[in-house]
Homo-oligomer: A and B are copies of this chain.
Amino acid sequence: MNTPNVIPVEPEVKVGLSFLVSQVGAYAANTFSDLLRTIDLTPQHVGILRILASKPHELTQTALANRLSVLPSRLVALLDEIEARGLLERKPNEEDRRSKVLRITKKGEKTFLRAEMITRTLETQLFSTLSETERAKLSATMKKLADNLGLAPGVHPAYRNHNQ
C-alpha cells in the first residue's frame, strides 16, 4: 500500500442486494417526484390517474381505497386535489346514493399522458447506461419479483397505511 495516509480512507461499506434495489428504487421515486413537480402533481396523484385511465374506467372511492390499500379518509384529500384541477369527476351513483363513481376527465387523460412522457424521460435518465438486453433482462426479473411477492400492478407500497 503506497497511498500516503494524508488522503482520506475510502469508506468500505458492504450492502446486500435488497439494499441496492431499495436504494435505486427510492432514487427513481424521488426523481419522478421532482420531475412531476413541473406539472404540479405528485406520484400519488399519477397513480390514481393511472388506475382511472385503465380498465375498468369507473369505480367507487371505496373500491379505489381497497385497491390501493389507502385509508378512505386519506383518499378523500387526494381526490379533492385531483378534482380541483379538473382531472377527474365524482359522479353520483344511481344504484347506491351513498357512494360516488370516479371517472377521469378528458383533461385528466391529457395530463396523464404528460405524466407518462415524464416517465419516459425518467427511464432514459436512469437506464440509458444499460444495454438493450441488460434492460430487457432487468425488466423481466423485476416483473417476476413483483409478481411472486404479490405486488398488484400499478399499486405502489407508499400508499399502504402502516397498520396492515
Contact = CB atoms under 8 A, between A and B. Distances in A.
Contact of A129 (B24, B51, B148, B154): B148
A129 B156 contact: no
Contacts of A146: 20, 23-24
A29 B42 CA distance: 21
Interface in A109-128: 119-120, 122-123, 126-127
What secondary structure prevails in chain A residues at the interface with B? Answer: helix
Interface of A: 8-9, 11-30, 32, 50-51, 54-56, 67, 119-120, 122-123, 126-127, 129-130, 134-135, 137-139, 141-146, 148-149, 151-158, 160
A48 to B, nearest CB: 11
B158 A129 contact: no
A16 B151 contact: no
Given A12-B54, A139-B17, A24 B120 contact: no
